Amino acid sequence: MSNNLKNKRALVTGGSRGIGAGIIRRLALEGVDVALTYVSKPDQAFEVAKAAREQGVRAITIQADSADPKAVVAAVEQMVAELGGIDILVNNAGIIVIAPVDEFRLEDFDRTVAVNIRGVFVATQAAVKHMQAGGRIITIGSCNADRMPFAGGAVYAMSKAAMVGLVKGLARDLGPRGITINNIQPGPIATDMNPADSDVADTLRNLMALPRYGSADEIAAMVAYLASPEASYVTGASLTIDGGFTA
């Protein structure tokens, strides 16, 4: 590790599992004090934070549903109060609902937008009030913003495509303040929610240039780069890490 991020403070939404947990691990290795939000399973969140503390950093867990704006703002305020500030925000929390268009429930549509778009905006709005020049905001989108290869995923794809526009627009707002914002678009990543040994995984691998699933650590490595001083000239970008899924 380069120690470029040592003593920085980061909030990762949805950080108790999958990609979020991988991001917490990597940031802790870089010397970043971390806070993570979770909706349920506090024991799982605690274990992620415990592993981070074993790297010698401070780590806290905060229960907050990204669909609830008040909870999102409260999570940012709690993180700032307990860790003394915020330098990095990783908007990782997200949901996916797959259903045919004529069966897709409006409540699922509304929750997808609430978590995947509104939650990102609310967290960003709350965080930048406390950020200094050099602050970093990183969103975790999806390559499905560019390619949705199966039926039933239109609403999820829409939400991730909207994130691209949101990041581009916010880059204009935040650039004069010395704060960057970027979007990472993962392809298929091996997690407990998306295992690499399923029938769906076999189908997806056939669509990729590199016929394998990625790992949470590979996404976390891009997060570490975008959070670092080396990425100070990168903003408003959507960076795809998908094994050639959209190639």
Give the active site residues: 156
The distance from CA 96 to its chain's CA centroid, rounded to whole angstroms, is 14
Task: Give the separation between CA 85 and CA 72, rounded to whole angstroms.
Answer: 16
**For 76, what's the count of Cα atoms within 13 Å in the CB-facing half-sphere?**
25
Is there a contact between 219 and 164 (Cβ–Cβ < 8 Å)? Answer: no
The distance from CA 142 to its chain's CA centroid, rounded to whole angstroms, is 10
Task: Give the separation between CA 62 and CA 47, rounded to whole angstroms.
Answer: 13
Provide CB contacts within 8 A for 65, sequence distance 6+: 39, 71, 115
